[in-house]
Amino acid sequence: MERSTFADAVAEQLPGLLRYARTLVTDEHTAEDLVSDTVVRALERQANYQGEASLATWLHRILHNIAVDSFRRNREVPLADISDQVELDWREDAFTVDAETVVARAETRSELNDALIRLPFSYRSAVLLHDGHGLTSRQVAHIQSVGLPAAKQRLRRGRMMLVSALAEGHERRESLRGVPLGCWEARSRVSDYLDDELPQAQRLQVEKHLETCPTCPPLYASLVGARTALADLDRSMDRDPDTVIPPRLRNRLNR
């Protein structure tokens, strides 16, 4: 396929990719960046597309992989054992939820987005691709580079987590009542806040959020602690005689 023809075919898939990205993340700019990076990578790797899967599936796989890398670098919420805990809850015969409440919240876009963003990425992606975008479990497995049983397990657990998150939505929103910014919006700005690169208005919003949010301060404190430890490590390396550049190597650099 000629490059111009391939580019046109990719362009036709942009609406679907953007819908997927917008449901993966709550920030519009982040969603657009994911799609933009997907397009760039697809054009760079055109030769890798051999037509084994549809172009839409291939592009969704690229976007998924880019998003995975992004979320590994900057997790939205602590994810340890969330899926295991939800499954333990669902194993209990006495566990249930108020179906009317869950359905009502699912039909409210802000409530649904708030619940989705609390799912670990791989489960959120599986639910969105399958239930939101109508892909088959086999297509989800291809996009996520996992076997079919793993894709089905992610879908099963993702649905459970989504219902549990929707059921708990009211309590969580009550705890965040009056807190400026959503948690992800605040957390996505924390890195720039640490580097003193935010406009004053946004800086004040982040500070106010950290003053009143019950979940974000520990994450912020962890970021500060990790950054400080890295800086201390770098300074200790400067004092370590083993890190001095050997004269032979310095001579080679100065040739």
More confident position, 75 or 206: 206
> Which tokens go with 188?
């996505």
Beta-carbon neighbour count of residue 247 at 10 Å? 8
What CA–CA distance (Å, rounded) separates 15 from 61? 15
CATH number of 82-175: 1.10.10.10
Per-residue pLDDT tens over the stretch 165-180: 888 866 655 555 666 6
pLDDT at 56: 92
CA distances for 78 relative to 1, 81, 120, 145, 215, angstroms: 44, 9, 9, 24, 10
Beta-carbon neighbour count of residue 138 at 10 Å? 13
**105-125 average pLDDT score:** 85
* Residues 6+ away with beta carbon under 8 Å from 236: none
Per-residue pLDDT tens over the stretch 30-83: 888 999 999 999 999 898 888 778 999 999 999 999 988 877 765 544 444 577
Closest Cα to residue 154, out of 231, 200, 226, 87? 87
201, with CB counted inside 10 A (0-12, 13-18, 19+), is: exposed
pLDDT at 192: 87
CATH number of 3-73: 1.10.1740
CA distances for 243 relative to 173, 177, 228, 237, 254, angstroms: 51, 51, 20, 6, 18
pLDDT at 76: 47
